[in-house]
Amino acid sequence: MSTHTPTCCRCGVKLTTSIASFFNLDIICAPCAMDERQAPGYQAAHDAEVSAIKNGNFNFPGAGLSPEDIAFLAWRRAERKATNPPAIVAR
């Protein structure tokens, strides 16, 4: 008996809704997607995606996360954990 439960690439929670990251090919949960929208590089990543699609590149893998974005997202995850303890404690 093996059940494969997809988990968020960022914070590891079980995914009930899976959302594609705007920055790369990660599949992430809704709270992580919300965090992305506030990340410092979101506008640039958004613009890069829009211009890629305009140029006919529909498989644009994303602009990638800058160190600032990674730091921001890590901080948001830590905040979430502190204010809203998950049922499953991460090791």
**Binding range to Zn ion, per CB under 5 A, among 4-12, 19-27, 44-52, 59-67:** 4-12
Q: Is 29 in the site for Zn ion (CB under 5 A)?
A: yes
Q: Are strands 19-20 and 27-28 parallel, antiparallel or unpaired?
A: antiparallel
10 binds Zn ion (CB under 5 A): yes
Q: How distant is the alpha carbon of residue 48 from its chain centre? A: 17
CB of 88 to Zn ion, least distance (A): 13
Of 45, 44, 31, 43, the closest CA to residue 73 belongs to 31
Q: Which residues bind Zn ion (CB under 5 A)?
A: 8, 10-11, 28-29, 32
